[in-house]
Amino acid sequence: MKIGLINGSPKAIGSTSEVLLDELKGLIPDDHDLVSVGMHHAMLSSTQLEDIASCDVLVFALPMYMGGIPSHMLHCLMQLEKALVESPHPITVYAIVNNGHYEGIQNETTIAMIKNWTNRAHLKWGQGIGIGTGLMIALAKDVPMGHGTKKNLAHPYSTFVNNLLDRQSGDNLYVNPTYPRFALLQGANHDWTKQGKAHGLRKKDLTLAP
């Protein structure tokens, strides 16, 4: 089976989407053909369109931006929709969406957008997985699956991959981090203060309204 792994982050290097796709690759048996496509700009090349259209399964990994799909990716999906509607090749679509919030279910609307696009392109919808605090996953890219920050990710990811390999549909899955919400807020506030200081700002400057 040919599986297309599509990175929808605007960041070409070092994105959480890249880390999540790398984790996925490690769970897919070697007898499957993996095709990686970087959807980092507002236009896909003819080669990228052909590569995607030749796949049996598509996995979109993307960040949630302002409650939805990043704008550059919307342009690519519109372009891709036309190419896939004209292709009789059956394709099943899956989505991995991450955000900076604590709760994975905050990605629910973005996953629904990918599902709606799947229907518009006359493809089969498989499943979505929404992951909270995506940045922490990226920072823990060298931590083994099932440990530390990735502890809560192991079981949902296993279910997701099993459905993907069988080209089956399933209920969307949502993953929260292993640590409590207050720890995330403390860490974020500390980091923002540190970044502000590096740019010559005091802590109270960060709360000033324009």
The token pair at 58 is: 């598509």
What pLDDT score does 194 carry?
65
Give residue limits of the domains in the chain: 2-179, 180-210
| C-alpha to C-alpha distance for 145 and 154, rounded to whole angstroms | 6
Residues composing the chain = 210
For each of the chain's 210 residues, which pLDDT tens digit applies?
999 999 999 999 989 999 999 999 999 999 999 999 999 999 999 999 999 999 999 999 999 999 999 999 999 999 999 888 777 789 999 999 999 888 999 999 999 999 999 999 999 999 999 999 888 888 877 888 888 888 889 999 999 999 999 999 999 999 998 765 655 555 555 565 666 677 777 777 767 766
Contact indicator for 59, 24 with CB cutoff of 8 Å: yes
For domain 2-179, the CATH superfamily is Flavodoxin domain (3.40.50.360)
Indicate the SS3 state at residue 35: strand
What pLDDT score does 181 carry?
60
- How far, in Å, are 26, 66, 141 from residue 208 at the CA level? 45, 22, 35
Using only C-alpha atoms, the chain has a radius of gyration, in whole angstroms, of 18
| C-alpha to C-alpha distance for 62 and 70, rounded to whole angstroms | 8
What own/partner pairs with CB < 8 Å and gap ≥ 24 does 142-148 have?
145/23, 145/26, 148/178
